Structure 1
């Protein structure tokens, strides 16, 4: 497949695209902006790539709409690997593919608003809702971990409904705490570290996402489903000693 070819996502689409990244990387992209089908395709394609295990591939990962692979250029050239990727891309319509096996559904206790998450009212107003409506909208939506990025173990989750297509702030919040839940552009971010941000802080969890001492340091994985369950300030405080912050998971088939 050439960099601009006929893809399977719509008539005469330019996607997917296969591109070279440096001397030892290849990128298979399923769109130029986030969408549910493009994210699904990237996750499914990466899982298929891991199963196929093309010769010379040493590492794979996903972004919002792409699957990346790093390979050993000493033992495998770009042309041969591209041929393998072309063949895998053509195997099926990846936009309609099932999500990878081994996903989990997480339920994460969350305090919405209060002094712990002071921008709930502001975000709700931007979305045209009351604070109560905003909490219901977020907590009743099962979102998916679309990618891990920006900070170790930090998930971008979505998508929320179109009413949540609100912009990031023009100015940065000086610091947002670990476990903070923030919203913008139809996505949620659950922060794994304390950091400045332009996203609006609407909820607070006690979930420790990055555990460098563990065999698997990133708790959430791309493709996992997540639901943020409203809890009282008192219940949140009672769960502070739990590194999961009261979160629980079940396997999805």
Structure 2
């Protein structure tokens, strides 16, 4: 792009249309962003998860010298690097080699190394928007609960607030828009739905997403040795419990909220 310095000029790498080729874009002075799409689709989330895993392994093996961090988002992966130890063009070439080795439309992510099973109460006071989600998706409320509980959710990204996970993807009927009016506040632990994703709120917050459930699991624990227990790529299963059981878990004050972690490898 003429007239702009290379550290902010957008540089794009493409293969022929239809191959799932991502864009490689500059981000600030110390970042390259690999973007697969502008909208969320199943192949996009699979591609992000696979590239994130491959990039982490490449960084550990020295194939990405200078990379300081690899961060997945919903449709992209950010490569942060140290400009003092690696030139921008060299870094981009190494990322391009990694990216060009795959047809990302057929990507299959590695099985999750960690599985969280998290108790969740749906509907009622803990999920006041469940019935609206059922109506919009054309399902009974019980079917919505079953669909969510049976979906092997992955932590797609962590952001907006410290530790706050975006989980997905849900089946196509849950590709629902945000609400037309803002909900002034959902409580800590609220689980809300929009555009085939669930977000687990780390703190009380306003939102345009519909609250379908609540958990006592806290994804941000500032007083803990591990303040952010979740990692991008973790699998999460939401285990339905009754409203009274959830009230007991919330009253207990345990940040684990009855969740169990299984480490697979």
TM, length-normalised to structure 1: 0.90
Name the count of aligned residue pairs. Answer: 249
TM, length-normalised to structure 2: 0.86
User: Per the alignment, do residues 145 and 102 of structure 1 end up closer, same or farther by CA in structure 2, a change over 3 Å counting?
Assistant: closer
Q: Secondary structure of the equivalent of 2:83? A: coil
2:225 and 2:94 map into 1 onto residues whose CA distance is 32
1:28 to 2:22 alignment = no
1:84 to 2:83 alignment = no
1:119-134 equivalent positions in 2, closer than 5 A: 119-134=129-144
Give the C-alpha shift of residue 113 in structure 1: 1.1
RMSD of equivalent CA atoms: 2.0
2:215 and 2:177 map into 1 onto residues whose CA distance is 23
User: Per the alignment, do residues 137 and 97 of structure 1 end up closer, same or farther by CA in structure 2, a change over 3 Å counting?
Assistant: closer
1:200 to 2:210 alignment = yes
1:236 to 2:246 alignment = yes
Corresponding residue of 2:77? 67
| Equivalent residue in structure 2 for 1:10, among 13, 18, 24 | 18
Q: Gaps (5+ residues) in structure 1? A: none
Give the C-alpha shift of residue 98 in structure 1: 4.7
1:51 to 2:71 alignment = no
Shifted more, 140-149 versus 201-210: the winner is: 140-149
| Equivalent residue in structure 2 for 1:174, among 170, 184, 201 | 184
1:86 and 1:140 map into 2 onto residues whose CA distance is 37
- Deviation track 1:44-76 (CA, whole Å, cap 9, x = no partner) reads 222222222222222221101211011122222
Q: Gaps (5+ residues) in structure 2? A: 1-10
2:78 and 2:150 map into 1 onto residues whose CA distance is 32
Give the C-alpha shift of residue 34 in structure 1: 1.2
2:42 and 2:227 map into 1 onto residues whose CA distance is 27
